[in-house]
Each structure stands twice: as structure tokens, then as C-alpha cells.
Chains A and B, each alone.
Chain A
Amino acid sequence: MRYEPPLEKISVNIRETVLGHGEKAIKIGGENTLPFHSFEGTLPNPPGLALEILDTEPQNWAPSILEPYEDVVSDPVSWAKKCVEVFGAEILCLRLESTDPMGQDGSPQAAAEMTKKVADAVDVPLIVWGSDMEEKDAQVLTEVARVCAGKNLLLSPVVKGNYEKIAQAALEHGHAIVAQASMDANLTKELNIVLCKFFPPEKIVVDPTASALGYGLEYTFSIIEEIKQFGLTDKDKMMQMPIICDFGGDCWRTKEAKENREQGILWEATTGISFLLAGANLLILRHPEALKLIKEMVV
């Protein structure tokens, strides 16, 4: 008798989300199988890999993570260009640290202007990350949405307490959003349900909140697996959004990364590849060497 490998055919897909616009727009998601199971189904898009830049000079960064960017950290536009032109980033994440109410507490207008400058200077898709402060993010990201109308940015994070305002602005001005619910599949679904009452599901990427290796990676891993399986094997429409993981900051805060450049790069790359194995569709990375390593492995 001939051996037939048991294959699991899945009849639904993770939604495909478009980031950015024009020639350099990138699609993520779209798969109808578990991560890397190309023998069972199709994975039309490789994982999206973004490099992050800050809108203000980084504080307390370890020398080895600062080193690749040393000549550009004072200017987000040059920083963005270097990431694209020198390090080959196909997606960028602009982190609006300047808006943090516990820090510089910069105005939404200034942040939106800076975002526009960066978005105009490069042609790759742009993720725009707020300060993770619910109320301030609602002000900042709505202003960013308005000033950068039509650029199809990925605005993040959108949470239970501010989703109405940010998603409304994203809808009006043509952007996608990151729906964030911390380490909980039920709450991820809940946020998607309320969003999808007025927001197109194909413009939502979910963030389960990621922790670095050694600092809770296994929880993130399980939640990503859960979300993916609910979406694919249980065919739960509210769980079929692509998944984003943001962990560079966490990795480079570890003692191990701070002490040693190679260790830091491996720490970040290992964390990232683990999330891709769990089912993540989009990673935000901090070190260009980590980007290179992951790219070599998966693309």
C-alpha cells in the first residue's frame, strides 16, 4: 500500500492586508495554512519585516544597538532613508516617542508633521506607533491620519479604550490599523467584533503584545498559535487578521543584549523567528543585522 501523508486542507484564509501604497506597497497574510506549512496550503506572502526608527533621539540605548544608526539618530528622515537605502528595509515603523505624556509630551500636530516628512521621504510602507498611552494616542494618531491622508499607514496601537476615534479617522483618511489586546484571545476577538461594526476587517492587523525571549516569549507564542488556529481551523472570521509582533525594545533592554552585540542580535532574531513559527505575519525589528538574519532564514 502506498503511503499517503495525512494533509490538513483548510478552506479559509487569513485576510490579506495591504500596507502602504504605490509600487512599494506590501501585502501580508493571505495564507490558508499554518505557518510554513507550504506542503499543505498556500502562503502567498512572506512575513513582513519592518525596521523601527524613533521621532526623537533614543535615550538609554545600548551602544551596540545605537551604533548602526549613530550618524542619523538626530534626524528621523535621514534615519528612515538609511534603513531603506543601506539596510534594505521594505517596511518602516516610526515610533512617536516624542508624544509620550510621561516624557516630552509633544503635540499631535508636530508628530503628524514629522510623520508626513518621513512618509514623503521614503516610498516603503510605514507603520506609525504612538506612545502606548490610550488618550494621547487617540489625539496623535487621528491627527497623523488626517495629515497623511491617502498614504495607507498602519496606525498603532488601537485599543478598547480608543478604538472608535482612531479607527474612524483611519477609515476617513484611508489607513489600516493595529488592534491590540494584551495576551488574550477572547479580548482580541472582542475588539475585532466591535471594530468590524464600522471598519473593514481587511484593514486590521492584530497585536497580541509580544515579549522577548526570556521575558515571556512562550506566552506570546501560545497566544499567536491560538489566534491563528481559531482563525484557520475553527474558521472564526473575527480571528483571521494578520498578526504583528513588536519586541525590539524588549530584546534590547535585556542584560544579555546590552552586554554583547552578537548576543543582542541573536536575542532579537531568535525572538522574531519564534513568533514567525507561531504564525506572526509582520515583525518590527530594531537591529539591521537581526533583520538580515531573519530575512535569510525565511524569505
Chain B
Amino acid sequence: MILIGEDLNVMSGEISRVIKEQEPGPIQECVTEQTKNGMDYLDVNVGPVKKDPEGTMEWLINTVQAVTELPLCLDTTNPVAMEAGLKFCQKKALINSASGATESMETMLPLAAKYSADVVLSVINDSGLPSDADERAASIMESAAVANELGIPNENIWVDPVLLPIGVDQRQVTAYLEFIQMLQDLMPGAKSTCGLSNLSYGAPRELKSLLNRTFLVMIGRYGQHSAIVSGFDHELIRLIRGEEPEMVDLIYRAMDEEDMDTSALPQKELEYVKTAQVLMGKSLYSHSWLEV
């Protein structure tokens, strides 16, 4: 599983400030830490960069690349900033993101073709977010056809099925699970990614990571290629890097609805089982799902 560290993000007030003031210290610290923690890519989320997109991207990309050799995932809605960023990336970059919405396809996909970059392509289209797995399939097939036409091969496309918060719409979480299993049949060779932390948006702070990491194990089993995750979630990283094989196996067994004597399970194991069950849509989500 390819892990993309999400922490260099203008949504953080501090990161936003140091980008504006071109103060390399905190940025390089964030990059170094995530690199050390074992990320495979780093997301560089700069927002819309309204002021001097070219200058900002040049400075930022060089500042980041001075302390890491990891490839970058460029995260901006501004095509001018995106192109500027692509010019300075030393490794094959990942464009984050294009969608099936006309405007997004018209601006972002040509950049992916021109720079032979990888591109995240979400299942969103002009009518919004598809409501189930089949509609996701229909939407991505249309957008992928446009991308292929422009000379972008499936191998360069990282499909984002779009993960919604479980507290908002649990059915969208099960639709995700269903769709990710279909993806290789729909688009042979295509990769996949998602913004993992969105899953637990609104959930109790201390339980967010449990939801995120359980889900990542689950979609990993279904062939998920990568995910944008917190580069500081050590427990998640250990789990995904195969350092807790028994726990992964337990999550798989919960997914298979294997008969388990849950009363015999230690606390932590039981939490994973309950979380997997709620993520499979076997029981209705509530913030107290562990207490039932």
C-alpha cells in the first residue's frame, strides 16, 4: 500500500502562515518527519494559491525537495499553480486532483498528459457525487475514456472513489467497499487512492484513527492501491506495514462474518472487530459503536 502523507496542508493555520511568509523551517520539519515515518509520497496541499501561484510553487516545491527524495502529490484547485508545481517536481508527480466534472477535466487532464504525470481522478461528475457503486462505475468509465483519449494510460490514473464521513452517510461507505472491488475489472491497470481521514470526520477525536486504520486494512484487502493519510499516525503505519499481522487477520475474519467468540477477545481486538462490522454496514453507526 502506497501511503501519501497529508500533513503539509494549508488547512493548518501554521502551515498556511509559513508558506505565505516563506519560512522554510516548519515546512521542512513536517516533510522530514513524515519521510522518517515511512510515507511513500507527500501531499502538498496549497489550496487555491490566489497570490503569485508560480513564485509560491517554485519556492515551496524546492523547499520540500531539499529535505526529501519522496515523490510529491500536488494538491491545488488552481491549474496555474498546478502547472508551476509540475515544472519543479524532480520525480514523477501526482496531480491531486481531477474529477469527471467538465471544468476539472478540461483544466487538469491536459496537464497530466503534457507532463506525463500521474493524476487522481475522482468519481465526482457534473451531477455531483454518485450515490452507489454502479453509478460510481458509470461515472469513472466516462471520465477515464476522456483521459485515455488525451493519451493518459490507466496506469497513470489514480481513481478516487470518494470517501464520505461514516456519520454522514453510512451507505456511501459500503458503496465505496463495493466499488473498489469492481475497479480492476472496469479499468485494468488503474491505481486508486482516497482521502482516508474524511471517513472519520465528525467522529469522537479519540476514535478517529481506529475508524481510519480499520477501513484502510479493509480496502487494502480489496486491492486499494494507496491512500492519503496522516503521516503521524504511527499505529496506522505499523498496521499497514505488516507489523501486526494477527490484527489484520482478525479484521479480515470480521469482514467474512466468521463466527467469533467476541467475549473471549481482548479489548483492542474487540474494538477492531466492532469497527470492521460497523464499516461493513452490518450495524448502524453511532459515535458509541464500541459500547454496544
Q: Decide whether A and B assemble into one complex.
A: yes
A226-263: CB near B (< 8 Å → 1, else 0) gives: 00001000101111000000000000000000000000
The 6 closest A-B pairs by CB, nearest first: A190-B286, A189-B286, A193-B288, A230-B284, A190-B287, A186-B286
A284 CA to B223 CA, complexed, in Å: 52
B284–A193 touching, CB < 8 Å: no
A209-236: CB near B (< 8 Å → 1, else 0) gives: 0000000000000000000001000101
Q: Which residues of B contact A239 (CB under 8 A)?
A: 284
B291–A186 touching, CB < 8 Å: no
A236–B283 touching, CB < 8 Å: yes
A185–B288 touching, CB < 8 Å: no
Q: Which residues of B contact A237 (CB under 8 A)?
A: 292
Q: Select which of B284, B287, B288 is within 8 A of A236 by beta carbon.
A: B284
Q: Which residues of B contact A190 (CB under 8 A)?
A: 286-288
A22 CA to B170 CA, complexed, in Å: 44
Kindly state whether residue B220 has any CB partner on chain A within 8 Å.
no
A194–B284 touching, CB < 8 Å: no
CB nearest neighbor in B for A229: B284
- Per the CB 8 Å criterion, the residue count for chain A at the interface is 14
Minimum Cβ distance to chain B for residue A34 (Å): 17
- Per the CB 8 Å criterion, the residue count for chain B at the interface is 10
Q: Which residues of A contact B284 (CB under 8 A)?
A: 185-186, 189, 230, 234, 236, 238-239
Kindly state whether residue A187 has any CB partner on chain B within 8 Å.
yes
Kindly state whether residue B53 has any CB partner on chain A within 8 Å.
no
B157-182: CB near A (< 8 Å → 1, else 0) gives: 00000000001001000000000000
Q: Which residues of A contact B288 (CB under 8 A)?
A: 190, 193-194
Q: Which residues of A contact B170 (CB under 8 A)?
A: 186
A71 CA to B170 CA, complexed, in Å: 52
A193–B291 touching, CB < 8 Å: yes
Minimum Cβ distance to chain B for residue A229 (Å): 10
Minimum Cβ distance to chain A for residue B108 (Å): 35
A181 CA to B288 CA, complexed, in Å: 15
Q: Would you give 25 A-B contacts (Cβ < 8 Å), ordered by A?
A: A185-B284, A186-B167, A186-B170, A186-B285, A186-B286, A186-B287, A189-B284, A189-B285, A189-B286, A190-B286, A190-B287, A190-B288, A193-B288, A193-B291, A193-B292, A194-B288, A197-B291, A230-B284, A234-B283, A234-B284, A236-B283, A236-B284, A237-B292, A238-B284, A238-B292
Minimum Cβ distance to chain B for residue A188 (Å): 8
Q: Which residues of B contact A185 (CB under 8 A)?
A: 284
Q: Which residues of B contact A189 (CB under 8 A)?
A: 284-286
Question: Given A193-B288, A238-B284, 20 more contacts at CB 8 Å?
Answer: A186-B170, A186-B285, A186-B286, A189-B284, A189-B286, A190-B286, A190-B287, A190-B288, A193-B286, A193-B291, A193-B292, A194-B288, A197-B291, A230-B284, A234-B284, A236-B284, A237-B292, A238-B286, A238-B292, A239-B284
A230 CA to B283 CA, complexed, in Å: 8
Minimum Cβ distance to chain A for residue B138 (Å): 25
Minimum Cβ distance to chain B for residue A100 (Å): 30
CB nearest neighbor in B for A237: B292
CB nearest neighbor in B for A192: B286
Q: Which residues of B contact A230 (CB under 8 A)?
A: 284
Minimum Cβ distance to chain A for residue B285 (Å): 5
